[in-house]
Amino acid sequence: MNPGDDKKYSMMSGQELKEFMAEFEEGNRRIALEFLNGEEKLFDDNYQVGEKWNPQNPGMIEDVIKLLGMTVVSFMEKNEEQEQKLSAARKKNEELERQITDLRHKLNHPFQTVGNRIKDSWNKEQ
């Protein structure tokens, strides 16, 4: 799908587009005057309508398939990224749970903890 292809077709014919824009012309003019420093036109009326869009357009099926394919690939990539983040978070969680278990053991057995620290400091000195 080429980026310029979106200008090849229009949902409205030239006449339909002019009628549509005329319906909102006054409101668009007021917005332009208020917010665009006095410019008269909010939208350029030099639009060129190519071919009116047709739901039976044979290229539409190909474009829809490309769009859906790109969407699926994008979701798969984001899913893989999220799975990697989840895996890293689970590993971190396991490490934190191990540390909490170790701290609980030390709190439940304070004399053993102090004894182990003294023993470790003697072993380091020797």
- In tens, the pLDDT along 3-44 reads 455 556 677 777 888 888 889 888 888 888 888 877 777 777
φ/ψ region of 109 (left if φ > 0, alpha if ψ in -120 to 50, else beta) reads: beta
Q: Categorize the per-residue pLDDT at 1 as very low, low, confident or very high, splitting at 50, 70 and 90.
A: very low
Say which residues have a Cβ less than 8 Å from residue 40's Cβ, sequence separation at least 6: 29, 32, 33
Task: Note the pLDDT tens digit of each residue in 71-101.
Answer: 999 999 999 999 999 999 999 999 999 999 9
Task: Measure the CA angle with vertex 17, ends 15 and 18; round to 5°.
Answer: 65
Length of the chain, please?
A: 126
